[in-house]
Amino acid sequence: MANEEHESEIFNRQPAIEEPTRYPRGGTDLMAAQFCKLGASFESLRTTCFWLLLRLIVSSNIIIRMIKSDLELLLPNQQGLDIRETLREEMGLFPLDTFPYEFPGREIKIDFEITEFTAICPFSDFPDFATIRLEYVPNERCIELKSLKLYINSFRNIKIFHEHVINVILEDFVKACDPLNVEIEGDFHVRGNIKTVVRASYRKQ
């Protein structure tokens, strides 16, 4: 009897039918909100990626221009020479010394003529000779002459172009004594049938 009841139970058993997933009330709205949030996040990510890519392109262009500029400086010249000026920080120039001007407000002009200036041509490695003429109006300090002589003499082993050396002297002179104005001239000796004269000036604002 027990066996018959057991067989009847097995025979009458129906396969389980999965109930459809039922979302709680308002579940559809929640899913829509989730999708909207996901879409907003994707849009934000896309915008961020766009700006990062744009910054990368701009930075790359800047780097390319810098590399191109450096390469142009390193490219051989028409004569195939190795041109290397002495770097500013490697010059080791003697420092200019000063002393107080006891009559500030009374303008005077001071002229220097330095007839034995020597430096080295970066093209040929031959010495360049020049007469340096300098006129300045002191403000509160004057240049001490011995330091000026040693400063000028320290260019003797420096590789530098005519156009650059006059600017270097002008910058160092202004930095040392803060004059009211300065005029400087480099009268270089004839080289290859060409005479070069370089002039520069400064006026305190």
Contact 156, 116 (CB under 8 A): no
The pLDDT assigned to 71 comes to 55
Report the half-sphere exposure of 81 (CA within 13 A, side-chain side): 10
Instruction: Tell me the average pLDDT across 103-120.
Output: 96
Q: What is the 3-state secondary structure (H, E, C) of 20-56?
A: CCCCCCCHHHHHHHHHHHHHHHHHHHHHHHHHHHHHH
- pLDDT for 165-182, tens place per residue? 999 999 999 999 999 999
Contact 120, 158 (CB under 8 A): yes
Contact 136, 92 (CB under 8 A): no
Distance CA 79, CA 90 (A): 26
The pLDDT assigned to 11 comes to 47
Would you say residue 158 has pLDDT above 90?
Answer: yes
Would you say residue 138 has pLDDT above 90?
Answer: yes
* pTM, rounded to two decimals: 0.62
Please pick, among 49, 82, 121, 125, the residue that the annotation labels catalytic: 121
Please pick, among 36, 82, 97, 128, the residue that the annotation labels catalytic: 128
Whether 128 sits among the annotated catalytic residues: the reply is yes
Distance CA 116, CA 183 (A): 19
- pLDDT for 77-111, tens place per residue? 676 667 789 999 999 999 999 999 999 999 999 99
Whether 121 sits among the annotated catalytic residues: the reply is yes
**Fold designation for 88-203:** GTP Cyclohydrolase I, domain 2 (3.30.1130)
